[in-house]
Structure 1
């Protein structure tokens, strides 16, 4: 094969890996780890692991497993273009050439096909049956591993028999049917083994675990799809998977998640509930309260009624609560990057929980006469393909618009910007199922042009890209002032007051009580008004690029803020000028503009009080809401 020519170019590290591959059987290693198998050939790692495992008892079967792994690797990467694939295949081929004759001489049966069938039956009787018949049901991890090994052996057996045109014995097929049936039960798990044969496991004997599992398996009254094949020990999450099309592994993970959440809260309840396999309602309510805290706040903020509707029949309340919690966890578990957009998840859950209520209420479709199904259908992986993927594609497009962070912030949206879309009732324009032509999914003019295979569109196109909602960051050093405006204003006003005190009278701090000095110090309010005007103008400048996506109320607030600040910049200097009989400098000019009437120091004090009244009111409200501070 052409893969032999790659060995002359191997570096020392690859040579060590190949040497390890050549001697892995002699070293007795039981795992062919990911450091040896290239990432593109990870599917053959279990086959090589089985070869290492069975080599001490039958070297010929181990050789056949490695030979099948080599063929599968060649099908996965025929050109050996993957990283390290050529070197790996070369080393494996050399080992096969070296082991072919010795293992062939040690073969018991007349053909490789008969050798594989004989060993498969031997492995099943010696390992699997022995573990099953053990009094303590043995170690579940060992039994799971044995079933996985048996599946790999049967896969190799079929390949060898097909090559030699030998039919598989009926006895072997019957044995494999038993293995396949048990393999579906003994699946990998994180913490809780939930298969029927794991009742004797220590963790499954806790009353809190048993209570949560028993409650989840209450599927009484749930309308299952007509074509659904029921299995043993079905639970509420299986029903949600069948109806909404969640992924199988996501359901398995969230099943453990929900059981452990309920059990952990259940075990902390005081006084302790009866040691019965019955879920404490207090634990159920506490978990539900934590899960839906943000969702209820979102509904209240948008003035929408929650979709968490409980039945009037008391026996169905617990099941309904578990359904709502299971649905939320399944949405969260499959949302992937959408988890960074919590209000977006609230929008999705709001509609899916409403659909759940309709299905449980027994609503029937007038067209088919069957129970109502979700808007996206309940086919396999429907939620991922039809709910998560469209929103994720929007995220991916926005990430591409950023050009690895080099584009201006006004040209693309991050997670917070996308999530802000769901802070407004306008998000309900998306509908359910979400409309593909909604503004949220629309591309910008530049994106539409880039998809024309390089042909620029001459005709103007309306840009329906949503853009930023409330704020567009502009790269500027003025953000230092805007972000810390209170600190900078305090420093500037203090500096002005200290300069006035230092340059008038004795320069001592006590000179501030001198009437003339104190009157000059009061000019800090004029400076504060000017700084406030600068801050208002800066807000407009730094938010200018978000003007197209701003609501009318937000625009009006910015305008009124500038107008109000500008008015105080005029009012405070004018009233301050009238506090002096013979005002110096610019104050004399202002007084000449508005007439030289008698002094009115109280007018400036009144203006300052009105100017400070919003801050004073906020301080009073703060003290009233937090009396412990006083």
Structure 2
């Protein structure tokens, strides 16, 4: 039963047009107290954020309304029921008004559309229209030889899928089985729908090879370069999926980004977006190369090196600043160099595309990429783990959306808690961390104490969970010894901050006042300033300016938020953070030992060449 959340009563109405008090059928109610909100929200397909899933249904209703108003009515009716299932209490923002307006429109359109219905029931009407739509639109577009109407065909497949969803819901409500011919048609639509996926600029599905943009030699060169998966160790689970009888065609669709997705657990849509992104980056640089390379669809190494240099500029500077070698290692076999470079660039773009708010923390992304690129190098080099004796595997890979859940989400939760703390507790700027403060943690070698996989008990992930207390005239937290706090500069504000922020304006006003007082005391006319004695007195404003500058020249202060009794001296050759406890120092020594061992392992492998800036 679908109903609006209002408390008013109303008449019962079923999609078949019967207005009765029978218990059978689906029921919707109209709120008596709500006014008519108009139909513009349905014409524009704008829905509340919590009901975004019904937007395609309303789009299809607007599309088919001109040809069959009854089918459009049934689509809106199904959208109303689905909206009620998504938010039965109408607690979302704008949901109550939206459902009320949609209900009013359904009541107005029920009788007129029922009279214009051709078939005896709504189920038969939906089946007839679905078959007609498939023959009139989809089959007609499929016969186009040059596939120039790919966008229209993609939209037609999406519309047919929505129509079948509404058709099935109507048949279930009226206890009528769907015809086998319609089920077969639906299966064909679903298979084609998987091929005609939404895209941004480049249609990369097999049926779109004749699209004009896909005929550029530079696009083809970058596309074929990404398809070179020779020698990559696919996971066993993915091999089973690729060898399945129904999915034998997926072998030809595998590329380098698909391999990175299978190994590191990136999202499918992120992989699709970054695939287009990387191809366009390479093609744009490739097309500008002078002299031109041969006309064969082969990616120019100069274009590859140019894009790679731009992408990893900040990462290499970060490694140099921290005194670390980058994780970009190339094989000595020339045939594998291009593949390795594309894998490094694809991994970076996939991390950036799925980083969400972590994009405001570029050095944090460098830290993540540093470890994941080293894992990539270990997998391709066939390294063996000293603990398990098996080949090296990604610390966070193997599952769908593993990168989002295990890497991005924990760091984002820290940001969320800090922001929530600043809003709810009304704390001072020195008592919570923002993006810059969290990112500054990755400006020093202390960040490597997080390890990989990142330790959940590290200071970086700790946030105070106790309320603020008023101590010595200011708000302070109790028991925040485990909180890392600010890393570098801490801004402490007071009511004097307004004078410091507008110091130039205050200085100008004070000096102007002094000059005007001197002129007024010696005659009061502006021409008196040319008098030699008055002019000497006016020059005293420079003495006042020097005094003001002296008062403004207060050095910046740093304040430690960690009790002094917990601070110990740093160990030799390891610059530790001043806010670490003793037991965390011991853990950090072990982490640095592992990192040093990792650097030694790098030097023990002579078959690889390191990329230098």
| TM-score (norm. length: structure 1) | 0.71
Asked if the contact 2:328/2:373 (under 8 Å) is kept, the reply is yes
Describe the SS at the equivalent of 2:423.
coil
Cα 1:338–1:405, aligned 2, differ >3 Å: closer, same or farther? farther
Would you say 1:396 and 2:416 are equivalent positions? yes
Corresponding residue for residue 543 of structure 1: 558
Aligned equivalents of 2:50 and 2:487: distance in 1? Answer: 43
Match of residue 471, structure 1, among 486, 489, 508: 489
Stretches of structure 2 that go unaligned for 5 or more consecutive residues are: 10-29, 243-249, 469-477, 512-531, 534-542, 571-613
Match of residue 64, structure 2, among 35, 51, 54: 54
Asked if the contact 2:127/2:182 (under 8 Å) is kept, the reply is yes
Aligned equivalents of 2:563 and 2:285: distance in 1? Answer: 48
Match of residue 149, structure 1, among 159, 162, 179: 159
Cα 1:297–1:94, aligned 2, differ >3 Å: closer, same or farther? closer
Task: Give the deviation of 1:102 after TM superposition.
Answer: 4.5
**Structure 1 or 2: more helix by fraction:** 1
1:420-569 to structure 2, matched below 5 A, reads 420-444=440-464, 447-448=465-466, 461=479, 463-475=481-493, 477=496, 538-539=554-555, 542-545=557-560
Corresponding residue for residue 208 of structure 2: 198
Cα 1:106–1:366, aligned 2, differ >3 Å: closer, same or farther? farther
Asked if the contact 2:425/2:467 (under 8 Å) is kept, the reply is no
Would you say 1:45 and 2:77 are equivalent positions? no
Aligned equivalents of 1:78 and 1:405: distance in 2? Answer: 33
Cα 1:366–1:185, aligned 2, differ >3 Å: closer, same or farther? farther
Describe the SS at the equivalent of 2:38.
helix
Would you say 1:318 and 2:318 are equivalent positions? no
Task: Give the deviation of 1:267 after TM superposition.
Answer: 1.2
Task: Give the deviation of 1:387 after TM superposition.
Answer: 0.6
Cα 1:430–1:60, aligned 2, differ >3 Å: closer, same or farther? same
Describe the SS at the equivalent of 1:475.
coil
Describe the SS at the equivalent of 2:258.
helix
Task: Give the deviation of 1:434 after TM superposition.
Answer: 0.3
Corresponding residue for residue 299 of structure 2: 279
1:565-584 to structure 2, matched below 5 A, reads none
Describe the SS at the equivalent of 1:224.
coil
Aligned equivalents of 1:483 and 1:332: distance in 2? Answer: 39
Match of residue 364, structure 2, among 338, 344, 353: 344
Cα 1:300–1:110, aligned 2, differ >3 Å: closer, same or farther? same
Tell me which of the two structures has the higher relative contact order, counting C-alpha pairs closer than 8 angstroms and 6 or more residues apart. 2
Corresponding residue for residue 139 of structure 1: 149
Asked if the contact 1:132/1:138 (under 8 Å) is kept, the reply is no
Corresponding residue for residue 116 of structure 1: 126
Would you say 1:302 and 2:312 are equivalent positions? no
Task: Give the deviation of 1:225 after TM superposition.
Answer: 1.5
Would you say 1:289 and 2:309 are equivalent positions? yes
1:234-245 to structure 2, matched below 5 A, reads 234-245=254-265
Aligned equivalents of 1:376 and 1:362: distance in 2? Answer: 18
Would you say 1:358 and 2:374 are equivalent positions? no
Task: Give the deviation of 1:295 after TM superposition.
Answer: 0.8
Task: Give the deviation of 1:288 after TM superposition.
Answer: 0.5
Q: After superposition, what is the alpha-carbon deviation per residue over 1:453-506, rounded to whole angstroms, capped at 9, x for unaligned?
A: xxxxxxx85612111122111226589889999xx9xxx9xxxxxxxxxxxxxx
Q: After superposition, what is the alpha-carbon deviation per residue over 1:255-276, rounded to whole angstroms, capped at 9, x for unaligned?
A: 1111111111111111122222
Aligned equivalents of 2:337 and 2:205: distance in 1? Answer: 27
Task: Give the deviation of 1:368 after TM superposition.
Answer: 8.0
Asked if the contact 1:34/1:42 (under 8 Å) is kept, the reply is no
Corresponding residue for residue 502 of structure 1: none
Task: Give the deviation of 1:38 after TM superposition.
Answer: 3.6
Rg: which structure is higher? Answer: 1
Cα 1:16–1:389, aligned 2, differ >3 Å: closer, same or farther? closer
| TM-score (norm. length: structure 2) | 0.73
Match of residue 266, structure 1, among 286, 300, 303: 286
Cα 1:484–1:313, aligned 2, differ >3 Å: closer, same or farther? farther
Aligned Cα root-mean-square deviation (Å)? 3.8
Task: Give the deviation of 1:436 after TM superposition.
Answer: 0.4
Task: Give the deviation of 1:370 after TM superposition.
Answer: 6.4
Q: After superposition, what is the alpha-carbon deviation per residue over 1:237-284, rounded to whole angstroms, capped at 9, x for unaligned?
A: 111111111111211111111111111111111112222211110010
1:81-96 to structure 2, matched below 5 A, reads 81-96=91-106
Cα 1:378–1:449, aligned 2, differ >3 Å: closer, same or farther? farther
Corresponding residue for residue 603 of structure 1: none
Task: Give the deviation of 1:147 after TM superposition.
Answer: 0.5
Asked if the contact 1:291/1:325 (under 8 Å) is kept, the reply is yes
Corresponding residue for residue 33 of structure 1: 44
Asked if the contact 1:409/1:474 (under 8 Å) is kept, the reply is yes
Describe the SS at the equivalent of 1:57.
coil
Match of residue 436, structure 2, among 404, 416, 421: 416
Asked if the contact 2:45/2:58 (under 8 Å) is kept, the reply is no
Asked if the contact 1:207/1:276 (under 8 Å) is kept, the reply is yes
Aligned equivalents of 1:442 and 1:95: distance in 2? Answer: 52
Asked if the contact 2:480/2:562 (under 8 Å) is kept, the reply is no
Aligned equivalents of 1:297 and 1:330: distance in 2? Answer: 20
Cα 1:330–1:480, aligned 2, differ >3 Å: closer, same or farther? farther
Q: After superposition, what is the alpha-carbon deviation per residue over 1:178-207, rounded to whole angstroms, capped at 9, x for unaligned?
A: 111111221222111111111122211111
